[in-house]
Amino acid sequence: MRAQPAASHFVDGRPLEDETGAPIPVIYPATGEEIARLHEATPAVIEAAVASGVRAQAAWAAMRPVERARILRRASDLIRARNEELSLLETLDTGKPLQETLVADWASGADALEFFAGLAPTVTGETVPLGQDFVYTIREPLGLCVGIGAWNYPSQIACWKAAPALALGNAMVFKPSEVTPLGALKLAEILIEAGLPPGLFNVVQGRGGVGAALVTDSRVAKVSLTGSVPTGRRVYAAAAEGVRHVTMELGGKSPLIVFDDADLESAIGAAMLGNFYSAGQICSNGTRVFVQKGIKEAFLARLAERADAIRMGDPLDPEVQMGPLVSQAQLEKVLAYIEKARAEGGRLVCGGEASVSPGCYVQPTVFADVTDEMTLAREEVFGPVMAVLDFETEEEAIARANATDFGLAAGVFTADLTRAHRVVAQLQAGTCWINAYNLTPVEAPFGGVKLSGVGRENGRAAVEHYTQVKSVYVGMGPVDAPY
C-alpha cells in the first residue's frame, strides 16, 4: 500500500520537495508497513513558507469577508464530495477504523470551513458614543499564524485551525505531527482548488525542531498548538518571547461522573465512547469514570460485556470498530500504563493485553477499584484504558473530579437535571456534557482550563483568538489644549 504525496511540503500554492531534510517514514499502524517517505523541512523550506504567508496575507485581509467565505465554503464542498477517498487516507495515516474516519475526521473539518465561512462576514466592530466624539472598533486579522498539530485527529486539527484563521483574514503555516503528515497536504491542495490564493495555507513537515523554528520567527503573530502539556509549556514560553498570541489545546484527565439514577445503558455507552473511540486517543476522553457505589457492580458487569464485544481488527474493514494505536511508541507507552495499573492494585475487569499481531493493537481495557493516587487516575494514557473509581456523595465526586491539574472536559450522567446543572457549575473544565460525552460540534467553543490550555477553538469564541481589536477615536470638535 502506498500513499506517497507529490512532495513533503506545500508552499506558495504548490508541492515543494527538499530531499536534504531528514527522512520521515510514514507507517500504517495496522501492519507496520511504510506507506510514504517524507522529508523534514530545511531552513530554506521554512523560510519559503513564512515569506509566502507574509506576502499573501495583506491582499487576503483586504478582500471582502463574503469573498473569502465563498472560497472556504467551496473547499468544504470539495471535502464532502471526496470524503471517502480522504477518509481512506486518514485511516492509513492514523490506523483509525474507516467506520470512524468516514464520519468524524474530514466531516468535522468540512463543518469548520463551512461554519467559519458563514461567521466571517458577520464579524463587525462596535461604536462607542462619547457625547460629541465617538470611538469605533475594527476587528483586524493578526497576520501570519502558525498551527501545530497532534497525531490523533490530524486532518480535523488542520481544518479547525485553518478555517477560523483564513476566514478572518490571516495566513497560516501548518506543521502536522511527524507521525501523521498526510492529511494537511490534502487540505492545502483542496484549498487551492477552491480558489485560495497561493501562500495563505502552507504545510511544512518536521519534528519538534521545525515547530520551534516557526514559533520563534519574528514574522509570526500567533501560534495555535494542539499537543501535550510538556510541549504546550515549551511552545507557550517560546511564543512569549515575542509576545505572540497563543491558543493551547493540551491534554486532559477528564472525569465522567455517573450517579445512581442515571440511565445505565447510556452512561455505559458514553463511557465507552469516551475511552475507546479512536482507540482512546482523544484529549477530552473521560478517563476517570466515577460511578456511584450502589450501581458500581451492575455498571462494571454490563460494561465488560459490551467492551468484550467490540470488533477489533483491520481498520479498512467497514465492520471493524476499533483499530490499532497510532504507533509502536504509543503501544509501548500504553502497555506500560496497564502494567503499572496492575502493579498499583487496579482490578482488571476486561482487556489488558496487546492483541492482533502485527500492528499496534491494545484490547479495550477497564480497571475497577482505581484510587485517586494511582498513576492511572493521574496521568494521561492516550489509549483504550478506562479507570473506574467509586464514590458515595455528590460533594465527594465534585471534589475528586476537580483534584487534577488538568481541566479539559467533564461529564455528568443523572436523571436529576437540577443536580446535573449544580454539579457542572462546580466542575473545573472547559467543556462539560450532561447525559452525553465527547460531542464537539464546531458551533460550540472547545478548549481547556488549568493545564489543559488557554484560548478556545470553534464557535464564536474563536473569533477572539484570530483577530485583534483596533479602537479608533474620532474627535468631532476643536482640540482643547491647556497650552
Catalytic residues: 161, 249, 283, 457
- Cβ nearer to ligand NDP, comparing 26 with 397: 26
Please identify which residue in 169, 251, 315, 346 interacts with ligand NDP, judged by CB under 6 A: 251
- Cβ nearer to ligand NDP, comparing 267 with 376: 376
Is 376 a residue that touches ligand NDP (CB under 6 A)? no
- Cβ nearer to ligand NDP, comparing 151 with 290: 151
* Stretch binding ligand NDP (CB under 6 A), from 83-91, 192-200, 211-219, 465-473: 211-219
User: How far does Cα 434 stand from its chain's mean position?
Assistant: 21
Residue nearest to ligand NDP (CB): 211
Please identify which residue in 231, 287, 428, 467 interacts with ligand NDP, judged by CB under 6 A: 231
- Cβ nearer to ligand NDP, comparing 69 with 187: 187
Site for ligand NDP in 444-473 (CB under 6 A): 448, 453
Site for ligand NDP in 159-178 (CB under 6 A): 175, 177-178
Is 299 a residue that touches ligand NDP (CB under 6 A)? no
User: d(Cα 446, Cα 456) in Å, to the nearest integer?
Assistant: 5
383: DSSP letter: S
Q: How many CB atoms lie within 10 A of CB 34?
A: 13
**C-alpha closest to that of 277 among 354, 368, 364:** 364
Specify which residues 201 forms β-bridges with. 172
Residue with cell 493516587: 373
Is 212 a residue that touches ligand NDP (CB under 6 A)? yes
Q: How many CB atoms lie within 10 A of CB 130?
A: 12
Is 215 a residue that touches ligand NDP (CB under 6 A)? yes
Is 217 a residue that touches ligand NDP (CB under 6 A)? no
Please identify which residue in 97, 143, 147, 211 interacts with ligand NDP, judged by CB under 6 A: 211
Specify which residues 457 forms β-bridges with. 446
Is 105 a residue that touches ligand NDP (CB under 6 A)? no
Could you tell me the smallest distance in angstroms from the CB atom of residue 153 to ligand NDP? 6
CB burial of residue 182 (10 Å; 0-12, 13-18, 19+): buried
CB burial of residue 395 (10 Å; 0-12, 13-18, 19+): exposed
Please identify which residue in 151, 174, 276, 277 interacts with ligand NDP, judged by CB under 6 A: 151
* Stretch binding ligand NDP (CB under 6 A), from 93-101, 227-235, 267-275, 348-356: 227-235
406: DSSP letter: -
- Cβ nearer to ligand NDP, comparing 68 with 465: 465
- Cβ nearer to ligand NDP, comparing 348 with 454: 454
H or E stretch covering 67:
helix 65-81
User: d(Cα 327, Cα 152) in Å, to the nearest integer?
Assistant: 11
Is 333 a residue that touches ligand NDP (CB under 6 A)? no
441 prior amide bond cis, ω within 30: no
C-alpha cell at 311: 470488533
H or E stretch covering 300:
helix 296-308
Nearest 5°: phi and psi at 171?
-110, 160
Q: How many CB atoms lie within 10 A of CB 352?
A: 20
Is 380 a residue that touches ligand NDP (CB under 6 A)? yes
Which residues make Cβ contacts (< 8 Å) with residue 170, sequence separation at least 6?
Answer: 57, 60, 61, 141, 142, 143, 144, 145, 221, 222, 466
Is 207 a residue that touches ligand NDP (CB under 6 A)? yes
Kind of pairing between the strands at 409-413 and 431-434 = parallel
- Cβ nearer to ligand NDP, comparing 143 with 149: 149
Could you tell me the smallest distance in angstroms from the CB atom of residue 257 to ligand NDP? 20
Given a contact cutoff of 8 angstroms between Cβ atoms, the answer to whether 391 and 397 are in contact is yes
Is 315 a residue that touches ligand NDP (CB under 6 A)? no
453 is in an annotated binding site: yes
Q: Which chain residues interact with ligand NDP by CB under 6 A?
A: 148-152, 175, 177-179, 207-208, 211-212, 215, 225-228, 231, 234-235, 249-252, 283, 380, 382, 408, 448, 453
Residues annotated in the binding site for NAD(+), as ranges? 149-151, 175-178, 251, 283, 380
